[in-house]
Structures are given as C-alpha cells and as structure tokens.
Chain A
Amino acid sequence: MAHYRIEIRVTPRPGILDPQGKAIHHSLQNLGWTAVDDVRVGKAIHVEMEAESEESARSEAEAMCRKLLANPVTEDFEVYQVEEA
C-alpha cells in the first residue's frame, strides 16, 4: 500500500450554461481584459488515499466521480493528477 495525492477536476459540460463563468467573464472584460473569449468555472477536489498502485488509485478516483463527485447531467470530470506522496 502507498499513499497517493489525487487531484480531480469537475467542470460544467460544454453547452451547459455556467452563470458563474459568465459573471467572471463580464468582470474581466470590465477590468480591461477584452481579449477574454470565455470563462468556465469548475472545482478542483483533492483526495488523499491509500492504494495498491497508482492505477488502482486512479480507478478508485474515477469511481468516486461517477458515484458522487460529478453529476453527469451537468458536469464532466477528469482525474487530473495522481501522485505518490
């Protein structure tokens, strides 16, 4: 068993309205970043866990996303990083 630090990213699915991203986009434009085309806001979820291997840590993290961490109707997820700690 080893200890793993996992970073999971959950983001609104393409085509799903992201009111937070929209508001931030607006604000950035008001602050002079007129080149900004789009802003989307998601979540980064950091999980620390014991696992047999990097592979099993990753597959556990994916299972967590499917069951709880992301809602497939509105969100995509990515197990962005798995590193032994």
Chain B
Amino acid sequence: MRVAVLTFPGSNCDYDLYQAVKQVGGEPVWRWHRDRGLEGMDAVLLPGGFSYGDYLRAGAIARFSPIMEDVRAFAEQGGPVVGICNGFQILCEAGLLPGALIRNESLRFQSEDCLLRVERTDTVFTSDYAPGQVLRIPLAHAEGNYRADRETLDRLEGEGLVLFRYVDESGEVVREANPNGSLNNIAGIVNPAGNVMGMMPHPERAMETLLGSADGLGVFTSLLASLATAG
C-alpha cells in the first residue's frame, strides 16, 4: 500500500508520519509541495508543523501549493486523506473539511498529552479502535481551537462527523479536558463521504509503549487494513 507523505516548507512531522506508515507495513512515498501527481497512491497524509511559518493564518498559504490540487482531486475520487495538526488546518483552509482552527483560548502553545474519545469506529481511520475507547495522544499546537458556524456544527453533530473529542479520564466531555477551547471539545472530524479526516493531536507520536503511548497506532492500522480490503 503506497501512502504519500506530503512535505510543505515548514512541515516538521513528516518523518514521524513516514515512520508510522512503515511501522504498520505500508510503503511511504515522499511528495514535496511543488510536486504534481498522486497516481498510484492509496492514501495521502498531510503532516504537522508550521507550513509557511503560519503566516497570515495556519495553513492559509500551504493550501495553494501545487500538490493541493492533486489532493483535492484524489479526495473527490474517494481516496483517503488524513491531515494531522497543521495538516488539519490546511484541509480546513482548503475547504476539504468544514470550519476553522483559531488561536487557543489560553493564548499559549499547548504541548501536552491529551485524552481523546473515539466517537465512531465505522470509518477507515478508526476501525481498529473500540467504540468509546479513550486514547492518550500528545498534542502540540497554538491554533487548535475548532470553530464553525452554528449550522455547520449542527450538521457535524447530527451526521456523526466528529471522530475524536477531548475527554477526562472517565471518558466524559468536560470543560477541563478541553486544551484549546474547541467547540464541543472537538479534536478531529471527518467529511460526510468518510474519506477525509483531520485531527489536531498527533497519533504518529504515540506509536510505541516504550515512548509513552501506542494509542495512535490504531489510526494507521485502520487505514492500512481498509486499503488492503479495498485493494
């Protein structure tokens, strides 16, 4: 399974993603932001980091990178696309996911472990998790505060498009568990077609129990399993 890992100027989680794909038995393939073409790719990953120094707005400039036209076409054909952290911000700016990520309520760059509840397990990104499973996954961002207008938020909730939510130890959605002020404690969402996912926390940094947590593995094993089935 060939998985494209994109790199924008300022990406810094691309190697972690590359390694994550390898770890679960996929074949990662580098794609620079100016490259064109995603032929032969089975999935596309947009890494975290600070593309274009977060100038103007996080992700606002990267979304116009040449490769993003191919990402859009790939997504429209149903190809799985994952954006993590800055990758999520880029997908929102590109309109491939609804809403926007603004400055954390704390005004600080938050770098800490968070607890996430898996809201759905019938997607290609979460099938290896148990319903309601609570994951410990690191986050590291200054703009992770998810915002959308009332109508969009109602649609996300009504159609079950929220994939991950910040929760406490017992899996409850509480204000104290919300690291950035996101509406409804939203940490990750999926598009209605179910093939484009964005999340702020970093599953690719939670791949080894020895390093603190392996709870992020499921995102990658789920994706690879779905590709194997589809292929």
> A residues touching B (Cβ–Cβ < 8 Å)?
12, 16-17, 19-20, 23, 68-69, 71, 73-74
Contacts and interface: CB of A to CB of B under 8 A. Distances in A.
B145 to A, nearest CB: 7
Contacts of A68: 56, 60-61, 64
Contacts of B107: 19-20, 23
Interface in B184-202: none
A73 B92 CA distance: 10
Contacts of B148: 73
A23 B103 CA distance: 12
Contacts of A20: 103, 107
Contact of A16 (B64, B98, B102): B102
Contacts of A23: 107
B60 A74 contact: no
B102 A17 contact: yes
Contact of B57 (A16, A17, A19, A71): A71
Interface string B36-63: 0000000000000000000011001100
Contact of B181 (A19, A69, A73, A74): A19
B105 A71 contact: no
B1 to A, nearest CB: 34
Contacts of B98: 73
B136 interface: no
A17 B149 contact: no
16 contacts: A16-B102, A17-B105, A17-B145, A19-B102, A19-B104, A19-B105, A19-B145, A20-B107, A68-B56, A68-B61, A68-B64, A73-B98, A73-B99, A73-B147, A74-B102, A74-B147
